[in-house]
Chains A and B, each alone.
Chain A
Amino acid sequence: MSSDIDELIEKYRQARGGLIPLLQETQELKGFLSRETLEKIASGMNLSLAKVVGVATFYHQFHLEPRGKYIIRVCMGTACHVRGAADILAAMEKELGVRVGDTTPDLTFTLEQVACLGACGLAPVIMINEDTHGKLTPDQVPEILAKYRQKTAVIH
């Protein structure tokens, strides 16, 4: 696993401004950015650890803690907000038993809220990984989650 990171570092070592794409690709590979990973990146890119952690904590996209297999992003943008995004979020929290920002203990789901997914015509909207689900009502939530749980079960 770690050799993959070395390859990525090698790829971006010469690229100016390569830190952010490097962090993005590393996170894609590892799921999150552990301290060990960031230390490796800092020394590989010849940057101070403070700078790397500073960048990693600035952007919403980067996660310094482990994350679920499915990332549920509930849109809290203006349009979704006025059409009941809060209800969707509440239903999600209830169904998953975790709060916004947390990951289920089995590492299946991470629940997040985002500012706007840019699909306002379909408000309220959520994204689960790359799939968009629009015009939701809270009672659809259990059904949607069940689908993803099933997928996980098949894979295992």
Chain B
Amino acid sequence: MKRSILVCGGTGCVSSHSRLVHDALEKELRTRGLDKQFELKYTGCHGFCEQGPIITVEPEGYFYCQVTDEHVPKLVDSLREGSVYEDLLYKDPETQERVKTRDEVPFYKKQKRLVLKNCGRINPENIEDYLKTGGYQTLDKVFNMPPEAVIEEVKASGLRGRGGGGFPTGLKWAYAREARGDKKYLICNADEGDPGAFMDRSILEGDPHRVLEGMLIAGYAIGASEGFVYIRAEYPLAVKRLAMAIRQAREKGYLGNNILGSGFNFNIHISQGAGAFVCGEETALIASLQGNRGMPRPRPPFPATKGLWDRPTVVNNVETLANLPVILNMGAGAYASIGTKQSKGTKIFALTGKIKNTGLVEVPMGITLREIIFDIGGGIRNGKKFKAVQIGGPSGGCLGEEHLDLPIDYDSLIEAGAMMGSGGLVVMDEDTCMVELARFFLSFTRMEACGKCTPCREGNTRLLEILNRIVEGKGEPRDLDLLETLGRNIIDTSLCGLGQSAPNPVLSALRYFRPEYEMHVKQKICPAGVCKDLLSYRIIEEKCKACGLCLKHCPVGAITGAKGQPHRIDPEMCEKCGECLKKCPFGAIVTAGGDRIGKNKNDYQWDHVPRTRELHDLESGRRERY
């Protein structure tokens, strides 16, 4: 059997220069005359981008991490000998032992990769690879079932929308199936906009045919003849692979008229988003497809009865659709045996933040946060302490330590004040300020609001202003109540899901981290040492060796002192830039209220992020922007 060398071609690995490695390998194999014995190909994302570029060797399954072109000659040596290139194997940070295959890597051990099964294993640009793994085989089965039976099967599987809402997919289909219309549409929502989430991108890049197969199943079930993939223009690689997959599927007769002799016609078009987070909302997405501003409209009528061009339309997210071949393959019963009572199957989470192993993980519903963060994610970076995790994207909620053992599914998360969202998991450590964090998320949702309804347009701006005040040390105790009532009212009255969830980060943080908020407004202290305006720098006299480094580096001349004399910082002049603290070799410079500041430079610096032009404009009144 010909051996395969699989080079990861996901966006993560490509930007860690996996293409260089691929090309170097190709050249090396050719010059050594080995190119006939090895098949060299690209795959989609493995989800473990932290360790990229990743190369696997099949059939042995050797899993090589952080490969560079310099490794190539020795790698080819090992390939020729059929041996393992030890240095490139993943090293378990706990045991310091190297493991040979992917499944032995702790990151993968607790995962249950059903949807991501092919990602990293097949060449996404070649339909043959997908067919070899059993791709498109569910279609024979599906086309021999009446559409209603397909809907029943999906209902029985308990599949719920993976894009955030968690609406039962089968039910949505049933509405659209029953709705009258001369034509029906299926839309695949690939407008993945949550910062910190990239599962849809990885599926589209790594296994695009799976999404097409899912769309065919859904299209057949609801009686649609046309499908659209609404995808972010920021995902050029995914767009390219998807277009390639559609072309190949058409050539093979999986798309077009009378598919596989079933009499079912189905075509798929790609529509590229133009940069608007709110278009992830289904009515806004439809407005955008119709060439309008992406502003949501009130429901009912729901798209399932009146959607694109006023016809019955189902909008399903990429991950939802990618689950369909799995369900039809293993059967609804087997699928429903995975997960919890109300949430079935697996969910893909994008694990990011202050965690050791960042990446994409697919786990059964009902797993605990602790298992994801500590067993799969390897715990917190740099030996820090876990503080909170933000679940469900910018409109999700922050959960703290007391929730680590909560089995997560759609309903448990909502109860805890967060949500599944699209599955972003951003892990925070002790150096994260919860006020600043909420402010960050809110500045995002505020910027992405469409501006149509009053509570979201005006209210989220006010929430942000109050949070700005608090981190600048100008907050008052009554601001916390204001945040709570305003936040609750925004949720209660907003038109669409964006407004109805935008205050979640603030409200959940207030619920679980209220003392931290109170310290900001009462004592004017930021316990995490993040909020710049709540800090003051000082030099510990006993530790100062009067080396003069701080004095030299202070950009505003706020430090005074002479040789042999402990230096001083003038608090009036100090700009709190933190340069002195970074430069002091003796650790003599601390901030008031603790000495934690400065350990994590990035945290400290992010204070000026939202203070970009946009907010400057806001503060100085309106300016025309054409």
Q: Which residues of A contact B (CB under 8 A)?
A: 16-21, 23-24, 54-55, 58-62, 64-65, 76-79, 81-87, 89-90, 99-101, 113-123, 125, 130-135
With contacts A118-B201, A132-B14 taken as known, whether A59 is within 8 angstroms of B275 at the C-beta atoms is yes
Q: How far is the CB of B296 from chain A (nearest CB, A)?
A: 13
Scoring A58, A78, A121 by chain B CB atoms within 10 A of each residue's CB, the highest score goes to: A121
Instruction: Please pick, from B197, B358, B612, the residue contacting A118 in the complex, using a CB distance under 8 A.
Output: B197
Q: Tell me if B602 is interfacial: C-beta within 8 Å of chain A.
A: yes
Count A/B pairs, Cβ under 8 Å.
159
**Residues of chain B with a CB closer than 8 A to A133's CB:** 15
Q: In the assembled complex, how far is the CB of residue B506 from the closest CB belonging to chain A, in whole angstroms?
A: 15
| A100→B613 contact, CB < 8 A | yes
Which residues of chain A come closer than 8 Å to B52, judged between CB atoms? 121-122
Whether the Cβ atoms of B440 and A59 lie closer than 8 Å is no
B167 on interface, CB distance cutoff 8 Å: no
Q: In the docked arrangement, what's the CA distance between A117 and B452, Å? A: 26
Q: How far is the CA of A82 from the CA of B382 in the complex (A)?
A: 14
Provide the bound-state CA to CA distance between A125 and B195, in Å: 12
CB distance from B63 to the nearest CB of A (A): 16
Q: How far is the CB of B294 from chain A (nearest CB, A)?
A: 6
A62–B274 CA distance with the chains assembled, in angstroms? 7
Q: Which residues of A contact B350 (CB under 8 A)?
A: 120
Q: Do most interface residues of chain B lie in helix, strand or loop, or is the interface mixed?
A: mixed
Query: Is B157 located at the chain interface by the 8 A CB criterion?
Result: no
Count residues on chain B whose CB falls below 8 Å from chain A CBs.
66
A-contacting residues, B276-316, CB 8 Å: 276-277, 288-295, 309
16 further interface pairs, Cβ-Cβ under 8 Å (given A19-B292, A59-B273, A121-B352): A17-B291, A76-B609, A79-B196, A81-B195, A82-B432, A86-B607, A86-B608, A86-B609, A116-B193, A116-B195, A120-B350, A121-B12, A121-B359, A122-B49, A130-B236, A135-B16
Cβ of A86 to closest chain B Cβ, rounded Å: 5
**27 examples of A-B residue contacts, CB within 8 angstroms:** A20-B271, A20-B274, A55-B292, A55-B293, A59-B275, A61-B233, A64-B626, A76-B609, A78-B390, A78-B394, A78-B440, A81-B440, A81-B609, A84-B605, A85-B609, A87-B602, A100-B612, A100-B613, A116-B197, A118-B197, A118-B234, A119-B49, A120-B350, A121-B12, A121-B352, A125-B15, A131-B15
In the bound complex, do residue B274 and residue A23 qualify as a contact, i.e. CB atoms below 8 Å apart?
yes
Q: By CB atoms of chain A within 10 A, which of B12, B235, B274 has the most?
A: B274
Residues of the A chain whose Cβ atoms lie less than 8 Å from the Cβ of B295:
58
Let me know if A132 and B195 touch, CB within 8 A.
no
B:227-286 near A, CB below 8 Å: 233-236, 271-277
Q: Is B448 located at the chain interface by the 8 A CB criterion?
A: yes
B319 near A: Cβ within 8 Å?
Answer: no
Q: Confirm or deny: B603 has a beta carbon within 8 angstroms of a beta carbon on chain A.
A: yes
Which residues of chain B (419-455) have a CB below 8 Å from chain A?
Answer: 424, 426, 428, 432, 440-441, 444, 447-448, 450
- CB pair A60 B236 closer than 8 Å: no
Query: Taking CB as reference atom, which chain A residue is nearest B49?
Result: A121
Verify if B198 is at the interface (C-beta below 8 Å from A).
yes
Contact partners of A132 in chain B: CB under 8 A: 11, 14-15
Inter-chain contact B49/A24, CB cutoff 8 Å? no
Nearest chain B residue, comparing its CB with the CB of A64: B626
Contact status A24-B233, CB under 8 Å:
yes
Decide if B276 touches A60 in the complex (CB within 8 Å): yes
Complex CA–CA separation, A122 to B8 (angstroms):
15
Minimum Cβ distance to chain A for residue B286 (Å): 9
Chain A residues, Cβ within 8 Å of B49: 119-122
Chain A positions within 8 Å of B198 at CB level: 118-120
Report Cα–Cα, A55/B477, bound state, in Å.
Answer: 42
B194 within 8 A of A: yes
Of B272, B276, B293, B608, most A-chain CB atoms within 10 Å: B293
Determine whether the beta carbon of B288 is less than 8 Å from that of A20. Answer: yes
- A119: chain B residues within 8 A (beta carbon): 11-12, 15, 49, 198
- Complex Cα–Cα for A134 and B275 (A): 22
Could you say which residues of chain A place their CB within 8 Å of the CB of B184?
none
Say whether A86 contacts B194, CB under 8 Å.
no
Cβ contacts under 8 Å, A21 to chain B? 271-272
Q: Of B14, B277, B358, which is within 8 A of A121 by CB?
A: B358
Contact across chains for B11 and A118 when beta carbons are under 8 A apart: yes
Closest to A102 in B: B613
Residue from A82, A130, A131 within 8 A of B606 (CB atoms):
A82
CA distance in complex: A58, B40 (Å) = 44
Q: Judging by beta carbons under 8 Å apart, are B613 and A101 in contact? A: yes
Cβ of A84: which chain B residues have Cβ within 8 Å of it? Answer: 601-602, 605-606
Contact, CB under 8 Å: A121 / B50: yes
Q: Are A16 and B309 in contact (CB under 8 A)?
A: yes
Verify if B520 is at the interface (C-beta below 8 Å from A): no
Asked if B192 is at the interface (CB within 8 A of a chain A CB), the reply is: yes
B residues 509-560 near A (Cβ < 8 Å) are none
